[in-house]
Amino acid sequence: MTGASLRLCRSLLQRCPCLSGTSPNCLNPALTSSIMTRSLSDSAAPPAAIQNPEAVTKQSVSQGYGGIADTPRLRSSLNDTEVAKFAAIAETWWDFEGPFKPLHLLNPTRVSFIRSALCRYFRRDPYSTRPFEGLKIIDVGCGGGILCEPLARMGACVTGIDVVEKNINVAQVHAGLDPLTSSIEYICMTAEQLVGSNRKFDAVLALEVIEHVADPSDFVESLSALVAPGGATVISTINRSLRAYAAAIVAAEYLLNWLPRGTHQWSKFLTPEELVLILQRASISVEEMAGFVYNPLTGEWSLSDDTSVNFIAFGTKEIPPTM
Ligand X SMILES: C[S@@+](CC[C@H](N)C(=O)[O-])C[C@H]1O[C@@H](n2cnc3c(N)ncnc32)[C@H](O)[C@@H]1O
Report the site for ligand X in 300-319 (rule: CB under 6 A). Answer: none
The annotation status of 141 as a binding-site residue, yes or no, is yes
* Interface residue with ligand X, options 28, 59, 60, 77 (CB under 6 A): 77
Tally of helices (H runs) and strands (E runs) in the chain: 11, 8
Q: Are strands 136-140 and 201-207 parallel, antiparallel or unpaired?
A: parallel
Residue 148 is a binding residue for ligand X (CB under 6 A): no
* Interface residue with ligand X, options 83, 114, 259, 276 (CB under 6 A): 83
- Return d(Cα 240, Cα 25) in angstroms, integer: 15
* Interface residue with ligand X, options 9, 28, 74, 86 (CB under 6 A): 86
The annotation status of 287 as a binding-site residue, yes or no, is no
* Interface residue with ligand X, options 141, 150, 230, 272 (CB under 6 A): 141
- Return d(Cα 11, Cα 120) in angstroms, integer: 22
* Site residue total, ligand X (CB under 6 A): 23
The CB-of-189 to ligand X minimum distance in angstroms stands at: 8
Q: Which range of residues in 78-86, 169-177, 223-231, 310-318 is near ligand X by CB under 6 A?
A: 78-86
The annotation status of 38 as a binding-site residue, yes or no, is no
The annotation status of 211 as a binding-site residue, yes or no, is yes
Residue 287 is a binding residue for ligand X (CB under 6 A): no
- Return d(Cα 124, Cα 130) in angstroms, integer: 9
Report the site for ligand X in 156-195 (rule: CB under 6 A). Answer: 162-164, 167, 190-191
Nearest CA among 214, 172, 208, 173 for reference residue 192 = 214
- Return d(Cα 19, Cα 209) in angstroms, integer: 24
Residues across the chain: 323
- Return d(Cα 208, Cα 100) in angstroms, integer: 12
The CB-of-222 to ligand X minimum distance in angstroms stands at: 9
- Return d(Cα 154, Cα 101) in angstroms, integer: 23
Site residues, ligand X (CB under 6 A): 77-78, 82-83, 86, 103, 140-143, 146-147, 162-164, 167, 190-191, 207-209, 212-213
